[in-house]
Chains A and B, each alone.
Chain A
Amino acid sequence: MRTLFLAAGLLAATPAFAQDKPTLTVLTYDSFVSDWGPGPVVEAAFEEVCNCDLKFVGSGDGAALLARIRLEGARSEADVVLGLDTNLTAAAAGTGLFAPHGVTPEGLSLPIAWDDPLFLPFDWGYFAFVHDTGKLANPPADFRALGASDVSVIIQDPRSSTPGLGLLMWVKAAYGDEAGSVWADLSDNIVTVTKGWSEAYGLFLEGEADMVLSYTTSPAYHRIAEEDDSKAAAEFAEGHYLQIEVAGKLASGDQPELADAFLAFMLSEGFQGAIPTTNWMYPAVTPAGGLPEGFGSPRDGTSLLVAPGDAPAVRDAALDEWLNALGQ
C-alpha cells in the first residue's frame, strides 16, 4: 500500500516538475537523434543555456519528415522542423505551416548565398562517388567517362532515398536535356539500386561494387574514426551537387520564442561544432577552431544546385527520364 502511495505521489509530481521548464519539441530525421548522431550533444548544449527541456522526435529521413508534417498539419506538437533540404523546401513552404525566422544569418560558410525567409541552413555537403583507392586507383573524371567505363556503381532509389534524389538532380543540373542519354550510358554500370544510403554504402564496403553514391565527406569518417586512408571521393568535372540541410519554425508551435532561440543557437559553436564528426557534413558556420583534423576542406570546384523553387518540377521530369533509361 505504501508503495502504491509512493508511486501515486511520484506520478502526480512528474507533470508539476515538467511544468517548471517549457518544452521545445524539435522534429528531425532519425539518424540525427540516434546515440551516434548530433542529437545528444546538441540537446545537452542547448539545455545548458535555454532553461528549457529540448525534446527531439525522430522520423525517417528528410522526405519522411515532410510527409509527417503534412499529416500532422497545424495540430503538430513540434515547434521546429530540422532536416529538410533544398529539394524539399519549396514543397514545405507550400504547406503554409512555416513561419519566417526573421534572422539575417552571418558568417555562413555555404558555397552559395542564402536568403530564404523560412528556412535556415545548419549543414551542407556535396554528393559524390566514393571508391577505394587500393582497388580503383584512377576513378572516372565525369559522368560520361563513368558511363563509358566498366566501373561498377551502386546508387540509391530517388523515390525512397535523399542521396538517390540528389543524384537525379545532379545529373539533371549538369546535363539538362541530355540527362536521359547520360542515364542510358550509366545503366550498365549500375549494379543495383537500393532503398536507402545504409544499404548502398554497406554493399560497397562488402565489395559488391567499385563505387557508391555518397558524400565528399564520407572518406573523413574512415580517416578519423577508423584511421583508414583508403577511401576517397572522386572529383567530377561537371561539378558536384549540393545538399543543404535546413531547419524552420512551425507557425503553430506554442513556444515561438524558444524556437527562435533554438534557431539562433543552431548557427552557434555549440551546435555547429558537433556537426562534422556526428553528422559527417560540413557545418553551415565553420567553428572558430576550423574543421577537425582529417576532415579536409571543402572542394573548391563548381557547385551545382537546382533552385529550390524549381526543384519539384525538375524532380518529376527527371524521375521519368531515370525510370525510362533504367528500363522500367
Chain B
Amino acid sequence: MILLLVLGSIAAVALRAEVWSGLKPSDWAALRFTLVQAVLSAIISVGLAIPVARALARRQFVGRGALITLLGAPFILPVIVAVFGLLAVFGRSGIASQVLGWMGLPPLSIFGLHGVVLAHVFFNLPLAVRLILQGWMAVLAERFRLAASLDFTSRDVARHIEWPVLREVVPGALMAVFLICTTSFAVALTLGGGPRATTIELAIYQAFRFDFDLSRAALLALLQVAVSGTAALIALRVSRPADQGGGLDRVARRWDAAGPVARLQDTLFLVLVALFLLLPLLTIVLRGLPGLLSLPAPVFAAAGRSILVALASTALTLALALPLAAMTHGLRGRGGEVVEGLGYLTIAASPLVIGAGLFIVIFPFANPVALALPVTALVNAAIALPFALRVLAPALAGVEGGFGRLADSLRLTGFARLRLLWLPRLRRPLGFAAGLAAALSMGDLGVVALFADPEGATLPLTLYRLMAAYRTGDAAAAALLLLMLSLAVFWVFDRGGQTDADA
C-alpha cells in the first residue's frame, strides 16, 4: 500500500509536470534502454552474488582472503581498462572465441545488450558479493551454534538465519548495482554496438557538448535522479533490518554446511566466479607487465597525486558517512529513509553535470584549475559516499540493536560512544568502506578531466592521455600500475578492519 502510494504520487506529479514536454522521443528511448540494462544487470549480478557470498561465508580455504580482495578489483578499474580485459577474454580474438574456434564454432560476438550486461555483471558482481558477504559475516557465531544444537538442517538455517539477512542486504545491493548502471555510458555505448544503446548519460552528453542546451542537460539529469531516487525508495522500503542480539565475537562454525552437495555447490560457484572475474584481470596483468618498469616519469608523478587524492577523499567519505549512518539510525522510519536516500543520490547524479555544475559554482570565485585536485577529492568522496553508507548503515543499526540499550544505561554518548562502542564494533565495515572509497577514488577519472592543467593529471587521466597519444603499450602498463595501486589501498584499509580471527 505504502509502496503504491509513494510510486503513485511521484507518477502523478510527473505526468502533470509541464517540463516533460521538453524531452524528445529519443530521450524516452534512452530512458527505456537505461532502465532495461540496469535492471537486468542488477538482477543478474545480485542473483549470482548470493550463492557466491554464501560459499565464501561458510568455507575456509587457502587463498580465501586473497580471493576476496581480488574480487574487489573489477569494481575499481577504470571503465576502459576493464572493457579491454573483458574483450581479451570474450572478444572476437579473445580466449573464449579461440577455444570455440578449436571446436569449429564461430567466434563470440560481445556487442549488444548481452555485452552491456556482461560487462556490468563483471563490474558489479564483486561489489554485490562483498555487500552480501558483509551482512553474512555480521551474523553472530552464537546463532549458528544454537542452530546446530537444535539440529537445524541447511534448509532450516536458510529460513531462520540466512533469509532475514538476505532480506536486509539484498535490496540495498540490488539498488547499488542498479544505480551504478543507470549512469553507465562508455560501457553501454561501446559494448551495446551502436546508438541503440544510448543511455540517459549519453543524452546528457549530447545536450551539453553537442547542442549546448543546458536546460535539457539539467532536465535529463533530473530524470536520472528521479529514476534513481525511485529505486532507492523501493529498496529501502523492502529492506528489513534484521535484529541480531548481542554476542561474544566467536568464529562462526557452520555445522549445517558439511554435506557433500553443499560442498560441491559452493566449490562450483567459487571456481566459476573466480574464472569469470580473474581471467580478464590476468590479461590486464600480462599485457601491462612488459612496460611496467620502463614507464615514463610523469606516470609515476600522476600515481603519487592519485594516492594523495584517494587518501583525502577516503577521509572525507568516512567523515560524511558515519554521521549520516548515525542519523539514519537515530531518525527511525521515514526520516531515516529520506536521509539515507539522499545519501544515495550522489551516485545517480551525472558526473558530467556535477562537473559542469561545480565549474559554474566555483568559476566566479576562484580559478577552477587551481582547485582541480581538491575538487576531485571532494567529488570522489561524494561518489563513494553511497557505498560507504550502504556498508555502514546496516552495521551501525546492528551494533545499536545489540548494544545500544547497554550503552544508553551507561550514559555513553557523543565521543565516548564513538570511541568505545562504534569504532571497535564497526572496524570491519569501516575498513571495507574506507578501502572502497580509496580504491574508487584511485580508479575514477572523475571531474579532473574537466579542470586539469598539464601538471595536475591523476593516474586515470594520464592513462587516457597515453591512449590518446597512440601509446598503447605504456597505457597497458599504466593500467596495471593503476590496478596494483587500487588493490593495494583497498587491501590496506580492508585488512586494517579485519583483524578478527575469521577474516
Contacts and interface: CB of A to CB of B under 8 A. Distances in A.
Interface of A: 30-31, 33-37, 39-40, 55-60, 63-64, 66-68, 70-72, 75, 77, 91, 157-160, 187, 190-195, 197-199, 201-203, 205-209, 218, 221-222, 225, 280, 319, 322-323, 326-328
B468 A75 contact: no
Interface in B169-219: 185-186, 189-196, 198, 202, 205-206, 208-210, 212
Contacts of A160: 189, 202, 205-206, 209-210
B101 to A, nearest CB: 13
B118 to A, nearest CB: 14
B196 A58 contact: no
Contact of B193 (A40, A57, A193, A222): A193
Contacts, number: 156
26 contacts: A30-B449, A30-B465, A34-B469, A58-B454, A59-B451, A68-B450, A70-B212, A75-B363, A77-B367, A159-B209, A160-B189, A160-B206, A160-B209, A192-B190, A192-B194, A198-B80, A198-B468, A199-B186, A199-B190, A202-B80, A202-B472, A206-B93, A207-B91, A207-B93, A208-B93, A328-B195
Nearest to A280: B470
A190 B194 contact: yes
A222 B470 CA distance: 9
Contacts of B339: none
Among A64, A195, A207, the most chain B Cβ lie within 10 Å of the Cβ of A195
Interface of B: 26, 29, 80, 83-84, 87-88, 91-93, 111, 185-186, 189-196, 198, 202, 205-206, 208-210, 212, 296, 298, 356, 359-360, 363-364, 367, 369, 449-454, 457, 461-462, 464-472, 475
B454 A40 contact: yes
The 3 closest A-B pairs by CB, nearest first: A207-B93, A36-B469, A34-B465
A193 B194 contact: yes
Given A194-B189, A326-B196, A327-B194, 18 more contacts: A30-B465, A31-B469, A34-B466, A35-B298, A36-B471, A60-B450, A75-B364, A157-B189, A160-B210, A191-B111, A193-B189, A198-B468, A199-B190, A201-B470, A206-B84, A208-B87, A208-B91, A327-B196
B286 to A, nearest CB: 14
Nearest to A160: B205
A218 B472 CA distance: 13
Contact of B210 (A68, A159, A187): A159
Contacts of B191: 192
Among B186, B449, B454, the most chain A Cβ lie within 10 Å of the Cβ of B454
Contact of A326 (B84, B194, B452, B461): B194
Contact of B470 (A56, A225, A328): A225
Nearest to A205: B472
Given A36-B469, A37-B469, A327 B87 contact: no
B454 A34 contact: yes
A31 to B, nearest CB: 4
Given A71-B356, A327-B195, A328-B195, A195 B190 contact: yes
Given A31-B468, A60-B449, A199-B80, A323 B92 contact: no
Contacts of B298: 35
Contacts of A326: 194-196
Contacts of B457: 34
Contact of B454 (A56, A60, A75, A203): A56
B452 A58 contact: yes
A91 B212 CA distance: 10
A63 B206 CA distance: 10
Contacts of A77: 367
Contact of A34 (B92, B193, B360, B468): B468
Contacts of A207: 91-93
Nearest to A76: B363
A192 B192 contact: yes
Nearest to B87: A206
B31 to A, nearest CB: 13
A185 B140 CA distance: 63
